[in-house]
Amino acid sequence: MNTEKPLFFDTSDGQNLRINTISTYLKRHFGRKIVKLSIDGGFTCPNRDGSRGTGGCAFCSSAGSGEMAAGTGEIYLDLESQINLIRGKWPQAGYIAYFQSHTNTYAPVEVLREKFEAALRHPDVIGIAIATRPDCLPDDVLDYLAELNSRTFMWVELGLQTIHPATQQTMNLCYTTEDYDMAAERLMSRGIRVVTHLILGLPGETEEDMMASVSHVCCRHVFGMKLHMFNLVKGSPLAVTCSDYVSFETMDEYIDLVIKAIEIIPPDITLHRISGDAPRPILIAPEWSYMKRTLLNNIHKTMKYRNTWQGRLTEPR
């Protein structure tokens, strides 16, 4: 173990948290518990309808990686039903409406406005998070997002997954690293927070490849990052073409890699996810990835044992 003095991001309740989690940031920013509620806005994807490709990204399930999202088509009522389920646990909480499934800027502005404004009409919703692709941000959409950002707390989540062209092609992403760089710059130039999603353990990628993707995103000065181990799930193209692929054989293997990534992420970047679980009925591999609480506890325990923390290997900026 090293003998450096660790950096703690949250010392409440004696937890000495060594990661700048989004929950810690939101608690500090709003002065209370903030809960993110996943919503299916009924969008599709240009990689499914033929405008950019067909079949979707190779790792993506038929639900557009939004199995946890509520989606009856009534945005306000979907939020209300989720809030009613957890209001007793956190009676003073605020909520962020997270449009998760598929590509949530892939529609005319008037459609986006209808859906996003419906979410913000709920009195307990204090902000909005919008997941999208980097190639689905035309000027009129960016203008509307800038307007939205001026009157509510917001971030836009960009799915990058990897910076490596060979993997992008194999995964049928139908967008490039250059598309991501331009989208991130255009959003941030309008003052919009950007959260970037990366998948660790994509087929064919080495540890060096994955760390290069993490470093690339860190250089963009984004607001947040999501690190997600690759889950092979039923209903995805890879479940057919790579049915025996396992991204990480053991939990310890993933923990070691994700801690190496966390150490090179600057401490001012919020971490929105450091694992990635899939519903057990559709999960193929890794078979342990549904054990989210065990995984997170072991990451924190290992960081404490190694006396390391987010940004330990970065230069101040």
pLDDT in tens, 47-71: 888 888 888 898 987 654 544 555 6
The values of phi and psi at residue 265, to 5°, are -90, 125
Q: Given this model, what pLDDT does residue 276 score?
A: 84
pTM over 0.85: yes
Each residue of 167-221: pLDDT tens digit? 999 999 999 999 999 999 999 999 999 999 999 999 999 999 999 999 999 999 8
**CA pair distance 256, 303, nearest whole angstrom:** 10
Q: pLDDT grade, residue 3 (50/70/90)? A: low
Helical H runs in the chain? 22-30, 75-86, 109-120, 139-149, 165-170, 177-189, 207-218, 237-241, 251-263, 292-306
CA 6 to chain centre: 26
Q: Are 275 and 229 a contacting pair, CB within 8 Å?
A: yes
Closest CA to 173 of 162, 184, 157, 183: 162
Q: Given this model, what pLDDT does residue 62 score?
A: 65
What's the token pair of residue 128? Answer: 């909005």
Q: Which of 63-72, 156-165, 180-189, 269-278 is predicted least confidently?
A: 63-72
pLDDT surpasses 70 at 149: yes
Q: Given this model, what pLDDT does residue 97 score?
A: 97
Q: Given this model, what pLDDT does residue 181 score?
A: 98
**CA pair distance 210, 214, nearest whole angstrom:** 6
**CA pair distance 91, 168, nearest whole angstrom:** 44
Give bridge partners of residue 98 from the DSSP assignment.
Answer: 38, 129
CA atoms within 13 A on the CB side of 216: 19
